Amino acid sequence: MELSNHDPLVTSMSEELDRLPPPSPSCCIYRVPKRLRRVSEKAYTPQVVSIGPLHHGKEALKAMEELKYRYLKDFLERTDVTLEYCIRRIRDKEAVLRSCYAETIKFTSDEFVRIILVDAAFIIEILMRFRYKKLRVPTDRIFNKPRMLEDVWPDMRMLENQLPFFILVDLFDQERNRVDTETTSIIDLSHHFFKNLMYLKDTEDALPQIRPPHEVEHFVDFVRKLYPLPPPSVLEVPQARGQSKTLAISSMRSSSFVVDVQQAQGPLETLLTLTPSMTQLYRAGVKFEDGVLEIPKITISDQSEVTLTNLLVYEQSLCQKVENYINDYVVILNILVKTPEDVELLVKNGIVENKLGDSSKGCTMIKNLADGVVMDSEEFYFATLCDDLTKYYKMFRHRGMEYLIKHFFNSPWTTKEIIAAVILLVLTLIQTVCSVISATQKQ
């Protein structure tokens, strides 16, 4: 039976549909889906401090609230601004702030403004005190005994635990935050903070992508912009008469990437399975020097999991505007790193810095970090690279070299390289002779 327009259900549902807000182009902060949380809930859930409304009020995080209020008081006194001024600045942007979150924020206007102000002042004070030691007070629990910075700053890199970056910019007055004769910006403070705590090098080249007119959505986006990935290099095609140029792998610039995937979907599944590992490629003749195949340098550490998993989630979010470069970098590293021996090889050649100290731990981290990552079979960034590597490895002389090194020579290339080359030359000659005989017999 069809409901009439006077049916209470029709009226009620129509009103609900009319109240639905339009999709917000500002949306950039949302909760991590369960399929990605299953490996490590801890990598996505703040352990010490809540930033923003999504985790505010949780019992395990309440202990930090008093300290955040002390930081707010210090912020107001240091910058000589009034509480009324700060509240007014946030109220003016409340609608935009709320639209940055993918779910409806249930807090009232006063509660929401209070959360944003306290947390924004807390972040600004952390950045300032990290940059300028003279601003730290003897009773500072973040930077002095008991030192809590190592517990707090991982929470600042979690996607669910973010403030929109623009509100930090709005509340940060360069003149009021002058230290001695030095002025700074919230971008420079953030860059100094993450660069040093994440042991990053050569990140200055990324700064133009972070400064205006470019927009930064939050700290996760900020960290991602510090790691622009290079376009995949085109491997040289084997030349005529069976000759091929040596492939080479070079580390491009210091990064803190350490990533992987445990499943492939669609037509690329076979390609991912067949692509040789780093050790296999090395034995087959790939050289780790300036050349054709390039990958960024990576650092494996206890902090890698939080950083990379949240970057991956950000790329996969429905409300973001970035391409899946990190996601696909996860995939290619998982393909190339299959055993602890692969990690050892990369460390030896300066491609990986392993702060865990153990190759088995490094390999385990790489194999477990990105369980649940989704691969687009039509837009996989390194599809051509995988195909070219596989073709290179399947060439007779390269597989022959890999077999000899694996089964007969376990030490670095010395005189054994010459012996192996001679054996390969003999094998190649035998193959050539057999091909000639076969062709002759067919005539």
Half-sphere exposure of 331 (CA within 13 A, CB side): 27
Helix, strand, or coil (residue 55): coil
pLDDT for the residue numbered 207: 84
pLDDT for the residue numbered 410: 57
Pick 295 or 120 by higher pLDDT: 120
The CA distances from residue 292 to 65, 222, 237, 282, 288, in Å, are 53, 30, 11, 14, 10
Provide CB contacts within 8 A for 417, sequence distance 6+: 409
Q: What is the pTM of this model?
A: 0.78
The partner residues of 352 in beta bridges, in order of sequence, read 298
Between 1-15, 256-270, 345-359, the lowest mean confidence (pLDDT) is in 256-270
Check whether 275 has a pLDDT greater than 60.
yes
Check whether 96 has a pLDDT greater than 50.
yes
Q: What are phi and psi of 338, to 5 degrees?
A: -120, -20
pLDDT for the residue numbered 248: 41
pLDDT 10s digits, 20-66: 877 777 889 999 988 778 777 888 999 999 999 999 999 999 999 99
Q: 291, 75 in Cβ contact below 8 A?
A: no
Q: CA-CA distance, 366 to 330, in Å (whole number)?
A: 9
- What is the residue-averaged pLDDT of the chain? 79
Q: Name the token pair of 241.
A: 């008469």
Residue 294 DSSP one-character state: E
pLDDT 10s digits, 396-419: 666 666 655 665 555 555 555 656
Q: 332, 232 in Cβ contact below 8 A?
A: no
Please return the burial class of 76, using the count of CB atoms within 10 Å of its CB with bins 0-12, 13-18 and 19+: middle
Q: Letter for the amino acid at 193?
A: F
Check whether 240 has a pLDDT greater than 80.
no
pLDDT for the residue numbered 264: 37
